[in-house]
Structure 1
Amino acid sequence: MHCVIVIFATLLPAAEPSVQELLDQAVLTGTKKVALPEGRVEVKGKLRVRGAKDLVIDGAATTLVFSDRKGTTWSFDSCRNITLHGFTIDYDPLPFIQGRITGRTEDGNRFDFTVCDGYPGLRAEDSQHYRQAYVFEADQTRWKPWVPDLYPRQVDILDDRHGRLIMGSAPVYHELIQVGDRVVLTLRTGSAIRMNDCENVRIEDVTFLAAPGCAYLGRYMRGDNYYRYTIKPGPPPAGATEPRVLSTCADGLNIAFATKGPTIKGCRFSFMGDDSVNLHGVTFAVLERKTPRELIVGWPYSREQLATVMPPGAAVRRLRPGNYEVLGTARLTAFEPMRERTPEHLKVIRSVWPRDEAGRGTAFRMTLAEPLAAEPGDFLDVPDNNAPGFSIRDCVFEDHRARGLRIMASRGVIERNTFRRLKMNAITVGAEYEFWREAGWVEDVQIRNNTIEDVGRDGGNQSGTAYVLGAIGVFGRTDRESRLPLWPGNRGIGIEGNTIRGCPQAGIFVSAAKDVQIRNNRLEHCFYRPGESAGKGRGLAVSGPIEAQAALDVALEANEIIGPGQPPTKQ
């Protein structure tokens, strides 16, 4: 007898390619469009795109959910002519702790909290990142007015659902923090999207529901870059009964070291843990003077791609230590990183940027077309590296920490935007030379036809170290210990046709500036709680709805002021 054995094989469908595989294949083959899978797509690990050209990544019905909260979630390196369209980004677990204040000491040195159901619990491995906490209203999703950010000396983890903030000193207005208030601790461990050395980028109709740092970080950018996207809190996580009160842990859009500023149009940002938009560059420390035309300068980071955005012919400004007066300029002919850093170089870099890790930093060789009498200890900046030529139009920025716009870039337009319920200032333009050293004196910026409502109710704005004392501010953040007068380095600023409703300090505050036009603005209920100590540590003060200090050639015309010194009846 012969037996026949029949073996049946079950054919299993091939596994769908991962998002990373889709992206890699597109770059390898030169595909022009990647359609992301529809629905909720859980992404394990990170995504990376390198060297893409003429690529559209589309996901109009896609929500990408990331679980990796450390470092950059989705990086783009050396890409040209790329468009991101339509998709949503979220995280599970969320990159923040959300809870309720359950107890406090009367002196404001200790606050106990319980993590809300459904939200991530406290973890020992994350404890080094619990450096700041934010307080929200108990019965509505908004930041609690006047309560400043909390920076605890330590955070005690009692168990995964209970913690304690131990303050180094009691924060101002701590008496306003009550049992039942919402509290959020952010991780700040990385950005959702970071682009390095990219050109001609478009981000359209993308939505960020969360991020462990900035929603978007752009570095070493060139070309025409366009942004129209939304940031807002996502739905409550599974098992939660309370709404999310935070979206991203840091800025909405942060661009630095760019030869051309971005076009930002029609964005809507809310509930971030920091500024809506930050545009800036770098302040260099002079390490050596080789010849009158050859300098060695330093900064506290690795070399990265900085040399790619230092264009020949760009103006290099020599800055006086202390007040950062421009002492001379020369044109750049070459800029390159040096292979070696001497111990003396690193010592100087560490002294200028003490917050950064010791032993870190890069020296660059800077060659100039004309002699520049810069000496070791001086500072330099390069305005053409600060995202010049930007525009921010028709956006809505509301319900978030810090400032709406923090602009250290020149030749820009800020118009027809709406700012509502921001903890600090709505629009700030000027020079950041002291703490972050993001440079630089700005020129030719027009701020017009914006609407600003209920901003500046934060205890930090009334501290003695505050340097912007109004809803719209032109500023120069220079060394506090310097005895040199504040220098009017910001030039050619126009503030026209704006409506400002409700700001406890000035509606418009101008300092460290020359040639400023303030015309046809309407200010309602400003200067109703300016703060006796505000700005005193910097020699600043505010005495009315429109204030100009350390400023020359300021023209005021046809500004309408209603209810000065009187708070709004409804906020």
Structure 2
Amino acid sequence: MRTLHAACIGLLCSTLACALSASVAEDAGRAAPEPDAFETWSTLASAESVSPARAAEGDFVRQWRGPDGREIRLVVKRPRPAADAPVVRLPPVPDGEDAQPYFQRALAEVRERKAGRLLIPRGTYVFKSLAEKNAPGHLLLRDLSDLSIEGDGATLVFTRDLHGLFLQRARRVRLSGVTLDYALRTVSVARAERRDGENVLVIDPRYLVTGADAVRYVSEYDAAAQRWVPGGKRVLLPPGHADSARYLGEQAWASPAFKTLQPGQRYTVFHHWYGGQAIRIEDVPGPQQSEDIVIEGVTIHSAPGMGILAYGLRRGLAIVDSRIEPRADGSSPVSTSYDAIHVQLGGGDVLIAGNRIRRQGDDGINLNNPVSPVVRSEDGGRALVLGAYSRFIRQGDMLAFFDGQGQLSEQVRVGEAPKPLGGLDHRVVLERPVDVASGSTVRDLALLSARFDVSGNTIEDCHCHGLLAQWPNGRIEGNTFRHLRANAIRLLTDVGQWKEGIGAFNVSVRGNEFTDIGLDTAPLLPWGAITVYGGARGGRLATEPVNRHIEIVDNRIRGAEQGCVTVASARDVRVEGNRCEATNRQSPGKPSLQVLQAGEVVLRGNRREGKSSGGLRVESTAAGVSAQVDY
């Protein structure tokens, strides 16, 4: 009975079909066992393995077979303008003039004439004003469809701590051939000194600052190697912090928070707190919601926030053959101050391929998805106050509720349009009461993302994790990760501290190269360069599975401060053919392959080299592990 049921699941038939086939074959006529909560959620969350978009010639199409045996098909559509669609060319912008009005007039002409191409001649365009009062970005790309914006080596320079390009209600839009940059002091390098009984930071004179340049974030830096120190000192000073840095004049800053810094050591100083993104795609669910955005051959040199953020995309995003890296002249040590690429509400069909990402101040790529906390229950459970991301919930959406371990408890539909309460909170009335405690979490099934391909990228020399993969139905293949401050790949979801992600379901990590990988200091679990895990309430490791159907195959890890591969909070994982060389440099001899709080894990054909790389450890909390005896 158990064998038959497992076979059905392995073939990925639906839960109902599995139960039916099992019951037909049951000699005694007993009904098949009900799937557990995790099986129900993993099947539901990973159900959409094939894109709903129909591809045409020239569109981006990627197709492969996932670890659970199903076909995964990803589609991102290119612009399809009418055959007779005109071409609009940006008029010349005189030297020293504000480029903003010229671009707005060109975009107005594009909309009026339904143009298929907007050409931006080679040159440098400085945006000194905004198109409208309180505009969220320097250049608003709104209400556009089937348009290619083509730069012939053009550089767009933004002058305020706002988004650079802001896309909204944009469908089948392609951006290519441009460089994006900011005329702001986003990051500098400083040396810690002891003066008058306190630590101060003295910024290198090549990075000119004034009292108007705040100090928000400090991190230990090896200036000679131009890399961050793994496990180095950090100081965070967000707006409103009690120990905000004060300017002493002559490039020097002081704060009581600097007491942990080492005099004589160098640090990078970030001057903005999650500021403007170079490219931001922002929308809400609706008929004109943005989809099929292509960013191709684009360079981003700096940003006070992230490089590219998708926040409310229906589906369809291709970031290909692009670069996120600092200017070549050394005028800034860092590219983007925070994540290079972050997809928060992406819908699915995300292709990130052939890019070079380096020297950014936070994660290389984060494929995220919203998890809303339950703030409180009202009206006997018929109404809930939900926190972050609840503004995206709509009447009629199905909500899935999760306990502190990330396990599905029940599903209930939204009965009325959510009511904003101020800040991040919304009051959500349900079709029936639910019994959930404050601290539980909610995912909106209408907002789930699926299908991603991260292939052929280079992520290096950054203050970062290389990739956080928190979606179903994806592959991570042929990438290069070098000189990272933290660990390289995390496959996860977290309903505790971070409240993000769906879970890594049906994900393949294959044929990637890792060199000189850093470390994570959170005492959650023994970290590896590749780590599968789940975050639970209270900042703890999830002891129940929250990831499923994962293969980690034929990767090469050469030099890592911590372990090679760690598998936790997961079920049905294959770790095979990986090479672990000179790992565990922080604690030589400790296990380089570890399995804990996981089940149905197969390890075979993995190799280790170097004195620091320890062996295999399978903790008693793991079950059904096929261990490799010759590792």
Give the structure 2 partner of residue 476 of structure 1.
Answer: 534
CA distance in 1, matches of 2:483, 2:446: 33
In structure 1, the partner of 2:185 is: 94
What is the deviation of 1:510? 1.4
Counterpart selection for 2:199 from 86, 110, 113:
110
Residues 491 and 333 of structure 1: CA distance in aligned 2, closer, same or farther (over 3 Å) = same
Label 1:391 to 1:335 Cα distance change in 2 as closer, same or farther (>3 A).
Answer: farther
| Residues 493-531 of structure 1 deviation map (CA, whole Å, 9 limit, x = unaligned) | 111110001112111011111111100101101123149
1:22 corresponds to which letter in structure 2?
Answer: A
Q: Distance in 1 between matches of 2:463 and 2:533?
A: 19
Q: Distance in 2 between matches of 1:91 and 1:339?
A: 38
Over 3 Å counting, the alpha-carbon distance change for 1:219 and 1:136 in structure 2 is same
Offset at residue 381 of structure 1 (A): 2.0
Counterparts of 1:440 and 1:264, CA distance in 2: 19
Q: Which residue of 2 aligns with 1:558?
A: 605
Q: Distance in 1 between matches of 2:539 and 2:470?
A: 22
CA separation of 1:337 and 1:399: change in aligned 2, threshold 3 A? farther
Question: 1:373 & 1:261 partners in 2: Cα distance?
Answer: 35
Q: Please name the residue that 2:279 is paired with.
A: 193
Distance in 1 separating the partners of 2:409 and 2:327 = 50
Matching residue's letter, 1:20 = Q
Is contact 1:289–1:374 with CA below 8 Å preserved after alignment? no
Which residue of the other structure, out of 400, 405, 409, is the alignment partner of 1:317? 400
Query: Does structure 2 conserve the Cα–Cα contact (< 8 Å) formed by 1:19 and 1:43?
Result: no
CA distance in 1, matches of 2:93, 2:545: 67
1:516–1:553: 8 Å Cα contact kept in structure 2? yes
Deviation digits for residues 249-299 of structure 1 (CA, Å, limit 9, x no counterpart)? 11111111232141111111000011011111222234447799x664512
Match of 1:31 in 2: 115
Output one character per residue of 1:417-450: Cα deviation in whole Å (capped at 9) or x when no partner. Answer: 0000000011101012222311333311111110
Deviation string, structure 1 residues 52-94 (Cα, Å, up to 9, x no partner): 111111113201111112x322211111110000100111133
Is 1:451 matched with 2:539?
no
Shift of the 132–204 alpha-carbon distance from structure 1 to 2, 3 Å rule, reads: same
Instruction: Indicate conservation of the 8 Å contact 1:446/1:493, yes or no.
Output: yes
Q: Which residue of 2 aligns with 1:361?
A: 425
* 2:573 is the counterpart of 1:526: no
- Residue number in structure 1 paired with 2:340: 252
- The answer to whether structure 1 residue 150 and structure 2 residue 235 are counterparts is yes
Q: Which residue of 2 aligns with 1:239?
A: none
Matches within 5 A, 1:217-366: 217-228=309-320, 229-236=322-329, 243-286=331-374, 287-288=376-377, 296=384, 298-300=386-388, 303=391, 306-307=392-393, 316-321=399-404, 323-328=405-410, 330=411, 337-339=417-419, 341=421, 359-365=423-429
Secondary structure (helix, strand or coil) at the match of 1:21 reads helix
Judged with a 3 Å threshold, the aligned counterparts in structure 2 of structure 1 residues 192 and 246 are, in CA distance, closer, same or farther, namely: same
The residue number in structure 2 matching 1:417 is 479
> What root-mean-square deviation, in Å, do the aligned CA atoms of Structure 1 and Structure 2 show?
3.1
Q: Kindly provide the amino acid, as one letter, of the partner of residue 165 in structure 2.
A: W
1:427: which partner in 2? 489
Deviation at 1:391, TM superposition (A): 0.9
- 1:87 is paired with a residue whose SS is strand
1:20 corresponds to which residue?
A: 104
1:121 is aligned to 2:214: no
Seen in structure 2, the aligned counterparts of structure 1 residues 200 and 376 have a Cα distance that, compared at 3 Å, is same
Q: State the match for 1:508 in structure 2.
A: 565
Structure 1: gaps of 5 or more residues? 1-12, 237-241, 347-358, 532-541
Which letter maps to 2:201?
D
Question: Cα distance, 1:336 vs. partner?
Answer: 6.1
Alpha-carbon deviation of 1:141? 2.0
Which 5+ residue runs of structure 2 have no aligned equivalent?
1-91, 130-137, 238-242, 284-289, 615-631
2:419 counterpart letter in structure 1: R
- The worse-fitting range, judged by mean Cα deviation, of 139-148 and 48-57 is 139-148
What's the CA shift for 1:407? Answer: 1.8
1:296 and 1:24, CA in 2 relative to 1: closer, same or farther beyond 3 A? Answer: farther
Which residue of structure 2 lines up, in the alignment, with residue 74 of structure 1? 165
Partners of 1:14 and 1:301 in 2: CA distance: 41
- Give the alignment's TM-score, normalised by structure 1: 0.79
The verdict on how the C-alpha distance between 1:311 and 1:76 changes in structure 2, with shifts beyond 3 A counting, is farther
User: More deviation in 157-166 or 32-41?
Assistant: 157-166
Please give the alpha-carbon distance, in whole angstroms, between the structure 2 residues aligned to 1:100 and 1:512. 41
3-state SS of 1:60 partner: strand
Q: Measure, in 2, the Cα distance between the counterparts of 1:214 and 1:14.
A: 28
Q: 1:333 to 1:445 in 2, by over 3 A?
A: same
Q: CA deviation at 1:462?
A: 3.1
With over 3 angstroms needed to count, the CA separation of the structure-2 counterparts of 1:148 and 1:515, relative to structure 1, is farther
Matching residue's letter, 1:155: A
Deviation (angstroms), 1:145: 3.8
Aligned residues: 496
Identity over aligned residues, as a percent? 25
Q: Which amino acid aligns with 2:190?
A: R
Whole-angstrom distance in 1 between the partners of 2:587 and 2:562: 4
2:146 — aligned with what?
54
Partner Cα separation in structure 2 for residue 233 and residue 485 of structure 1: 38
